[in-house]
Amino acid sequence: MATDKRLDFIENYCTLFLHVKPDKWTKFATSEEVHSMLNEFYEKHDVTALVITLNPTGQLVPCLGFPATLKNKGVYFVKKRRENVNKDNFLDLLLVGDLSPSPVEQMMAVVEEVVYSLFMKHENLTGWPQVVADDVIRAAHRLKNEMFVMGGKIKGKTLLPLPDHLDTLESAVDMFDTLPRAVDSTLLHSIETIIIDWSHQIRDILSKDSAQPLLDGLNPLPRVEFDFWHSRQVNLQCINEQLYAPQVKKIADILERAKSCYWPALRNVFKDVSAGLKEADDINLYLQPLKVVLEEVEQAEYQQVYILKGGNNI
């Protein structure tokens, strides 16, 4: 009995992306419900997508269309045109790819590894007007930086994007005066734009007030204050470590040697982060003795709460 090449095609990609074991695939491929769903995908023009995922027990689960939520990795098969999928056209008709359970992280990977990489290769821009090519490259780099910053926010961190043209930073520090004017202008503009972005990111963090829940009319417990200062301390420590990275030192050297008007702005970034981190360190240190006491108060019944004064119970 001849095998269905379309099913073999789907099996190959499920094995590749989902690492499906033979017994799991056999159970999937011999199910009447699965065959019915596959035939619907093959034969109905308006059914344009098939997604196969793994459930928590490791079984393959098909879905016609993209699911609203995805708990595990999946593989998608999408029709390029609204046609029947037959044994002769499936290779040309189907677009295949994998899905991550985290759409944002997948989008970040696509932007950085596909979109940005494509525009960074000059041969892909051959024939484009130089003004258009430069504008597209700047837009791609900006999108990449925005994805980078968003990824940090998802993890609860503030990540500082780096400027493009990093490949020229090594020589720029030592030979800044000998660089062509066009390269100087491009490099400086890229760096100065990043300094503006850094200033906004750090200002947003330092402008937050731990009393904001009270100002909003809420009734926060003491732990909200502890969490606020702990989070700020960790975040500023992360930023501080980034600012002392070798690439940032090169950026600072270039701004200083070029006598850029953004050199003082970068120095202010260092000062603000340093002062903010010292403040967060001090407040966290002095909040620790209160933390234990207030946690006990939160857990106790109102009648059991006692007064502390001068270190003695009253």
Give every strand in the sheet of 74-79, ordered side by side. 60-64, 49-54, 74-79, 94-99
DSSP string, 17-66: HH---HHHHHHHHT-HHHHHHHHHHHH-TT--EEEEEE-TTS-EEEEES-
What whole-number distance in Å separates Cα of residue 219 and Cα of residue 146?
A: 34
pLDDT digits (tens, 9 = 90+) for 232-262: 999 999 999 999 999 899 899 888 888 889 9
What whole-number distance in Å separates Cα of residue 223 and Cα of residue 254?
A: 44
Where helices occur in the chain by DSSP H, the ranges are: 5-18, 22-29, 32-43, 90-93, 103-110, 116-120, 130-154, 169-175, 181-206, 212-215, 222-243, 246-257, 263-299
**Range scoring the smallest mean pLDDT among 41-55, 151-165, 195-209:** 151-165
Residues 6+ apart with CB under 8 A from 272: 202, 203, 206
Using the Cα atoms of residue 185, residue 188, residue 191 and residue 192 in order, give the sign of their dihedral: negative
User: What is the rounded average pLDDT of the residues 171-176?
Assistant: 50
Cβ-based burial of 149 (10 A; exposed 0-12, middle 13-18, buried ≥19): middle
User: What is the rounded average pLDDT of the residues 44-59?
Assistant: 89
Residues 6+ apart with CB under 8 A from 312: none
SS3 at position 114:
helix
State pTM to two decimals.
Answer: 0.69
All structural domains of the chain with their residue ranges? 5-101, 156-313
pLDDT digits (tens, 9 = 90+) for 99-157: 888 877 888 888 888 888 888 888 888 889 989 988 888 888 888 888 889 888 888 88
Q: Is there a contact between 115 and 109 (Cβ–Cβ < 8 Å)? A: no
What is the Cα 250 distance to its own chain's centre?
25
What whole-number distance in Å separates Cα of residue 203 and Cα of residue 284?
A: 21
Short-list 240, 169, 227, 234, CA closest to 198: 240
Amino acid 212 reads: Q
Confidence of residue 181 (pLDDT cuts 50, 70, 90): very low
What whole-number distance in Å separates Cα of residue 156 and Cα of residue 279?
A: 20
CA 50 vs CA 35, 38, 75, 97, 271: distances in Å: 13, 8, 8, 11, 54
How many CB atoms are located within 10 Å of the residue 224 CB?
Answer: 15
**Is 39 or 120 the better-scoring residue by pLDDT?**
39
What whole-number distance in Å separates Cα of residue 30 and Cα of residue 44?
A: 21
Residue with tokens 């009253």, as numbered in its chain: 314
What whole-number distance in Å separates Cα of residue 250 and Cα of residue 169?
A: 7
User: What is the rounded average pLDDT of the residues 56-75?
Assistant: 86
